[in-house]
Amino acid sequence: MNDSTTDPTARPVVLDVWCELQCPDCRTALEDLRALRDRYGDRLEVRLRHFPLEKHKHAYAAAQAAEEALAQGACWPYVERVLGGVAELDARGEAYLLQVARELGLDDEEFDTALIDGRHLLAVDADQAEGKAIGVTGTPTYVIGGERLDGGKSQEGLRARVEEIADRLLAGG
């Protein structure tokens, strides 16, 4: 029997989170994501997946900036900071994305270059295409153990459902 709580070779359960960094519902979901990461640690791999919505003018640039933060080793701190400032992102756009990079000690010039040269466009487009292919229509949307959970309308009970699935998968069932 493979006990994933003690076996260092056990693979983590993957939670894909289709998110949009200008989305107030995704900002609301941050508390749940933090709680899940705290509860499961390395046993749960929370992967940011991009699903920029056309109604938010800075969402596509924010997705590219998040990919640059990932490249610089600070994806979740960056994502959390940007989501925490949705109103500022609405008002200031790319200037805010660069400010957050600076505040986190990241190379903001590299962020600016990445937004200009489009080096992360393919990653963002691939996430969005995959999301559409599996039926994602809004954010946040979670996929764990092959099950899609839509969080855009209500976060109510969502974390408990993710925990239930994660516990079952980690137990080998």
pLDDT of residue 63: 97
pLDDT at 87: 92
- The beta strand positions in 4-111, using DSSP E, are 13-19, 44-50
The predicted structure's pLDDT at residue 157: 78
Q: What pLDDT was estimated at residue 106? A: 97
Each of the 173 residues of the chain gets a pLDDT tens digit; together they read 444 445 545 789 999 999 999 998 898 888 889 999 999 999 999 999 999 998 999 999 999 999 999 999 999 999 999 999 999 999 999 999 999 999 999 999 999 999 999 999 999 999 999 999 999 998 999 999 999 998 765 667 788 889 999 999 998 86
Retrieve residue 132's tokens. 């559409």
Q: What confidence score (pLDDT) does residue 56 get? A: 92
Q: How far apart are CA 79 and CA 30, in angstroms?
A: 9
62 within 8 A of 81, measured Cβ to Cβ: no
Helix 59-71 vs helix 94-103: angle between axes, to the nearest 10 degrees?
20
Which pLDDT score, from 0 to 100, does residue 28 have? 87
Greatest distance between any 2 Cα atoms in the chain: 54
Q: Scanning the structure block, which residue is given the tokens 């900071």?
A: 81
Contact 9, 156 (CB under 8 A): no
